[in-house]
Structure 1
Amino acid sequence: MSPPRPTTGSGRKIFLIATEESGDRLGAALMKVLRQRLGDAVAFEGVGGRAMAQEGLSSLFPIEELSIIGLAAIVKQLPKILRLIRRTATAAVEAAPDVLVIIDSPDFTHRVARRVRSRDPAIPIVDYVSPTVWAWRPGRARSMRRYVDHVLALLPFEPDAYRKLQGPPCSYVGHPLTDQLVALRPSAAEQERRDGKPPVLLVLPGSRRSEIRHHMAIFGKALSQLQAQGASFELILPTMPHLVEAVRAGVAHWPVQPTIVMGEAEKRAAFRIARAALAKSGTVTLELALSGVPMVAAYRAGSIEAFIVLRAINVSSVILANLVVGDNVVPEYIQNDCTPENLASALRDLLADSPQRSRQVEAFRNIDAIMAIGSQPPSARAADIVLTTGRQGRPAD
């Protein structure tokens, strides 16, 4: 790596790249802490969404330009994607920041990072949110050493995975969900409803249209079987406003109609009174575990995607809740195993006072200690490493 160059003035310039809503929230929280630490002596450039704009970032382009789902759509938009990668890398090099922070979205951000490292090796690069090297394509960890100086991990087992896979330095900074425990945990009155009759059953088919398309019919059939077997329950289906029409179409023929709630506040309120959940595999399983809600996890995808992913996975579970607690307590039904019969049987156990339910509840009681990071919020720990890794601003000559 070439010697660091002086920066203009005594302040810091930080270039951030986030191309999805979740990354935008992480970036905004990081920017807020950095601003608190450095005041006017920090300047931000890069790519981000609405949350980062509120913290002072003027994005190179709207991140909605990268809201592409599905293999066919990606192939069609590939020239545009590559053009945005080149544009972002050029902007980062020309900005000559004290540090480049890439946030999640590795298919985009890592391509930018490799270009930046090739063109200016003096720019330190921090990767906020580890790619799933512990689940599939483990060789990525070692290759990241060429262009990433530090990885900020959201999950407590990731630093050990990077050590074993000979990746770059990796530090656990904490998951942003740990900042939201008050919103996830029931009050006394909500706990009474959680234990009451009929039990509240959450249905969480996914946050993308393709996921809703793959899961809704199977979930509906599973709930129909559950009802036919004599189980009584109150259904709540949390979703987001832009997906509500697709959800309503999907539940139109369900024999048990759910109450559809929209937005994060309503979703968290439903979590606090739920006895069990049927959830698409993903971050939501960690949310449910932190809320103490036993669950059945399911996932179906298109045949090509499933063929590729199922052959690449090298972990015993793809459920985040299982990976964090270190035990496969949450039953998971992936692709061909995701059948109405399997889902209904597993849900029946969770609605009752069964050993399967008790096993999950007990495991989730340990999750606070497992994910503990002390008194600092994740964004503050992340800011510490960003500032330590970055070049130190120096007075101009």
Structure 2
Amino acid sequence: MTGGNPSQTLCVGIIAGEESGDVLAAHLMQALNRRTPTRFVGVGGHRMEEQGLKSFFPMSDIAINGGIAIARNLPMLLKRIAQAADGIVTAAPDVLVIVDSPEFTHRVARKVRKARPGMPIINYVPPTVWAWRQGRARAMRAYVDRSMAVLPFEPAEHLRLGGPPCDYIGHPVSEIIQAKMRAPEAPADPQVLLVLPGSRRTEIERLMALFGEVVARIHRPGMRVIIPAVRHLETLIAEKAGLWPVTPEIVVGEAAKWQAFSEGTAALAASGTVTLELALMGVPQVVGYRIEWLAAALMPFFRAHSIAMANLVHGSRIVPEFLHKECTVDNLAAALDPLLSDTKERRRQLEGIAAIRKQMEDEAASPADHAADIVLETAELSKSTLRQ
């Protein structure tokens, strides 16, 4: 098999760098295991480990966001990049799948391509080249053979910008949530406010104090405040929440998270996949995000209309979002407060949520199954080429 894998068991290298990638990769791994005996090597979190991966090192080591934070941790990150690449080269899998987190995964892929040019490399969730740094698309052709996109407009953008072949497979979050969806509804008592300050340590550091002030501003008698926390950040979140004027409930784990989402009246969230999860669960939300000064200085070069995935899928800003200097207590509280009652603002967002749900429910194939088909097809094509 490709790269010298001696057994008939498919060997897949897989590299993820943060929580959302861990979720996507785990579902892909599950779909591959349903089709054929598969061995996995690479880097991932606890969900991927539950599917059989023994990570080269803790994924939390590389879940770092922002140029300054990356620079501060550069020696460790460079060490982990080299360790991941060396691990993949040594294991010689039949195919390598890099999942999101391009600042890390693409550096690994470039090293692997140099050491083992015959190993096929697939990029699951390619970088947002349509939003900024468009030259990355063409550069990817040197080390990525195929991309799998989760947003419907992305393949055309990657083609326009000269990137590697790109397939739209659908967003796996829609499949995950299908059985959990609830009908959009008027708020019930007691009101439940969900607070989601992010899945990276840097996001927690920037947003927890601010979000606590917003919660205090809009809190009402009897209101429950729930923070669904990722496992490796539970202690930090609890420490920061201990300084809030209002005491929240902190829940950990997938089951507790989805239970909280099913009860949520409204949510205050950092950007990311969680905005799409909330929309599909019928929870109106406001997005707030603070970035470091270096990223803020680069914002004029950002070409997308939104940072919230729910808005990107919908095509317009149905979810209020406040970035950097606009991310203030006053702005967030003013946008969030009406969503807790049966107001025109809440009804308008619920209409947009219904459109998102309709669009994603119309996707026939399972995204994870589609992704697995592409991985198997790529591995088999590579084997056929070697046999010739």
Please give the TM-score of this superposition, normalised by the length of structure 2: 0.86
1:361 counterpart residue number: 350
What CA distance in whole angstroms lies between the structure 2 residues aligned with 1:336 and 1:383?
Answer: 42
Preserved contact between residue 4 and residue 92 of structure 2 (Cα < 8 Å): no
What CA distance in whole angstroms lies between the structure 2 residues aligned with 1:50 and 1:259?
Answer: 23
* 1:21 CA drift (Å): 4.1
Residue of structure 1 aligned with 2:226, choices 236, 239, 246: 236
Out of 103-112 and 67-76, give the one that drifted further: 67-76
* 1:311 CA drift (Å): 3.4
Tell me whether 1:218 sits opposite 2:210 in the alignment: yes
Residues 59 and 288 (structure 1 numbering): CA distance in 2 closer, same or farther, change over 3 Å? Answer: closer
Preserved contact between residue 62 and residue 104 of structure 2 (Cα < 8 Å): no
Q: Which amino acid aligns with 1:313?
A: F
Q: 1:248-259 to 2 correspondence within 5 Å? A: 248-252=238-242, 254-259=244-249
Preserved contact between residue 8 and residue 393 of structure 1 (Cα < 8 Å): no
What CA distance in whole angstroms lies between the structure 2 residues aligned with 1:313 and 1:383?
Answer: 32
Corresponding residue pairs, total: 385
1:195 counterpart residue number: 187
* 1:323 CA drift (Å): 0.5
Structure 2 unmatched ranges of 5 or more: none
* 1:385 CA drift (Å): 0.7
Preserved contact between residue 277 and residue 294 of structure 1 (Cα < 8 Å): yes
Q: 1:27-38 to 2 correspondence within 5 Å? A: 27-38=25-36
Q: Secondary structure, in 3 states, of the residue corresponding to 2:36?
A: helix
Greater C-alpha radius of gyration: 1
Tell me whether 1:337 sits opposite 2:320 in the alignment: no
Out of 56-65 and 97-106, give the one that drifted further: 56-65
Identity of aligned residues (%): 46
Deviation per CA, 1:29-87, whole angstroms, max 9, x where unpaired?
32332233223xx5443334444344444444443443556656644543443344334
Tell me whether 1:159 sits opposite 2:155 in the alignment: yes
Q: Which amino acid aligns with 1:174?
A: G
* 1:28 CA drift (Å): 3.2
* 1:11 CA drift (Å): 5.4
Preserved contact between residue 130 and residue 152 of structure 1 (Cα < 8 Å): yes
What CA distance in whole angstroms lies between the structure 2 residues aligned with 1:352 and 1:319?
Answer: 23
What CA distance in whole angstroms lies between the structure 2 residues aligned with 1:62 and 1:225?
Answer: 38
RMSD: 3.2
Residue of structure 1 aligned with 2:126, choices 127, 130, 136: 130
Q: Which amino acid aligns with 2:205?
A: R
Residues 9 and 373 (structure 1 numbering): CA distance in 2 closer, same or farther, change over 3 Å? Answer: farther
Residues 195 and 139 (structure 1 numbering): CA distance in 2 closer, same or farther, change over 3 Å? Answer: same
Residues 296 and 125 (structure 1 numbering): CA distance in 2 closer, same or farther, change over 3 Å? Answer: same
What CA distance in whole angstroms lies between the structure 2 residues aligned with 1:57 and 1:220?
Answer: 37
Residues 159 and 6 (structure 1 numbering): CA distance in 2 closer, same or farther, change over 3 Å? Answer: same
Q: Which amino acid aligns with 2:227?
A: L
Tell me whether 1:299 sits opposite 2:289 in the alignment: yes
Structure 1 unmatched ranges of 5 or more: none
* 1:258 CA drift (Å): 2.9
* 1:270 CA drift (Å): 1.8
Q: Which amino acid aligns with 2:188?
A: G
Please give the TM-score of this superposition, normalised by the length of structure 1: 0.84
What CA distance in whole angstroms lies between the structure 2 residues aligned with 1:253 and 1:63?
Answer: 28
What CA distance in whole angstroms lies between the structure 2 residues aligned with 1:65 and 1:300?
Answer: 22
The structure with higher relative contact order (CA 8 Å, sep 6+) is 1
Q: 1:1-397 to 2 correspondence within 5 Å? A: 8=6, 12-39=10-37, 42-68=38-64, 74-75=70-71, 77-182=73-178, 184-186=180-182, 195-227=187-219, 233-252=223-242, 254-308=244-298, 310-372=299-361, 374-390=363-379, 391-393=381-383
Deviation per CA, 1:128-161, whole angstroms, max 9, x where unpaired?
1121222222221121122211111122222222
Residues 311 and 36 (structure 1 numbering): CA distance in 2 closer, same or farther, change over 3 Å? Answer: same
Residues 25 and 339 (structure 1 numbering): CA distance in 2 closer, same or farther, change over 3 Å? Answer: closer
What CA distance in whole angstroms lies between the structure 2 residues aligned with 1:232 and 1:150?
Answer: 52
What CA distance in whole angstroms lies between the structure 2 residues aligned with 1:15 and 1:329?
Answer: 38
* 1:331 CA drift (Å): 0.9
What CA distance in whole angstroms lies between the structure 2 residues aligned with 1:98 and 1:213?
Answer: 40
